[in-house]
Amino acid sequence: MISEVELIKRIRRFPSPPSPPDLLKGIGDDCAVFRPGGADTLSLITTDTLVEGVHFDLSWHPPQLLGQKAAAVNLSDIAAMGGIPRFALLSMAIPTTMAVSNVDAVLEGFLHALTHAGVSLIGGDTVRSDQGLTLSVTVIGEVESGQVLYRSGAKAGDQIWVSGWLGQAAAGLALCRQGQAERKALYPALLDAHLAPKPETALGRALAQSGLVTAMIDMSDGLASDLAHLCEESGLGALVRAESLPISGDCREASQALGLVPEGLAISGGEDFSLLFTAPPAARNAIAGLAGQAVGGQLHLIGEMIEGQGVLLSGDGPSRHIEFQGFDHFSGDRP
């Protein structure tokens, strides 16, 4: 089946009208960016669709947490631009067999996440589905024009940072798939990462306002893919040190129990929804301080931007290319 990268290339091949001057960024970033009415505040817009059987499995995903996740994955894209989320639209394709109480639970989780983020639901659509539940969400946000962060601003020599642990959501998904209740109960943080990810809205804002960050993307498809996108848009390569990959003790322990390689989950497991960003080495202490004070989160340095192309992983042996080894929704191998 066609990959997302290939599909975007094909879309770009079609003739399109000239880009209007108030459009600052179309396809190719976490959000489209435009300047309404010449204002200093830019508008951000993003959309994401979650399909039953491809992105979630209701046999283990509580509907309330699914609603929360549908909001979170979109809020994460606004965070990746350094923006403030404002409005949301929700379209649902609902199976005729779905209990109304479960529809209510999805809505409750979705609206809870929006309320927590200060976002208003302003519209959407509902249709009948013969093929499972689909949730399609659009979020509109805003950001000051001097503070918007694109994928394209990284410079050679910039350090590469990630917020939080990598591979948590993939380990949580593996636990859910395997389905052993006693084992799942041991790793609530991993399950949470898969079932109810938290967008890094406050961190995204703090990083944008700091003026220290050169490029940013959220981690939806896995480090190998998301960093490759940032590299492509910045016209550079990246070198990641295997020993610097932030992998939690829980992830290592659960991986061992499940017969999985934790580094593999960290590199190609998707859906962590942490932020991946670049900044010059001189900003290192300021960024580390900012994480501690402003957001209380953990930031990890994992490598640096280099001249060239692709994502190199350095470990014990020779460095190897890992770009685009992440989860591609079109490859049809999840959940």
- Residue numbers at the binding site for Mg ion (CB under 5 A): 30, 77, 218, 220
Q: Smallest distance, Å, CB 226 to Mg ion?
A: 7
Residue closest to 57 by CA, chosen among 195, 161, 154: 195
Element spanning 238, H or E = strand 237-241
Residue 175 vs 216, nearer CB to Mg ion: 216
Query: Please, which residue, 216 or 254, has the CB nearer to Mg ion?
Result: 216
Min separation Cβ 237 and Mg ion, Å: 20
Pick between residue 51 and residue 260 the one whose CB is nearest to Mg ion: 51
- On whether the CB atoms of residues 79 and 201 are closer than 8 A, the answer is yes
Q: Are 119 and 139 in contact (CB under 8 A)?
A: yes
Cross-strand partners of 239: 304, 312
Q: Answer positive or negative: Cα dihedral of 276, 260, 324, 170.
A: negative
Residue 218 or 323 with smaller CB distance to Mg ion: 218
Question: How many other CB atoms are there within 10 angstroms of residue 23's CB atom?
Answer: 12
Question: What's the min distance (Å) between Cβ of 147 and Mg ion?
Answer: 18
Please identify, using beta-carbon distances, which residue of 77 and 328 lies nearer to Mg ion.
Answer: 77
d(CA 123, CA 269): 33
Which of 223/242 has CB closer to Mg ion?
A: 223
Residue keyed to tokens 């946000």: 141
Residue indicated by tokens 């590299």: 231
Kindly give, in sequence order, each residue whose CB lies less than 8 Å from that of residue 222, ignoring residues fewer than 6 positions away.
170, 267, 268, 269, 270, 272, 325, 326, 327
Per the DSSP assignment, residues forming a β-bridge with 128 are 94
Closest approach, Cβ 189 to Mg ion, in A, equals 22
CB of 5 to Mg ion, least distance (A): 14
Taking the complex as a whole, the smallest distance from the CB of residue 218 to Mg ion amounts, in Å, to 4
**Phi, psi (deg, nearest 5) at residue 20:** -65, 150
- Tokens 């694109």 found at: 150
4 vs 253 by CB, closer to Mg ion: 4
> How far is the CA of 301 from the CAs of 167, 172, 254, in angstroms?
16, 24, 24
The residue whose Cβ lies closest to Mg ion is: 30
Supply the minimum distance, in Å, between the C-beta of residue 106 and Mg ion. Answer: 22
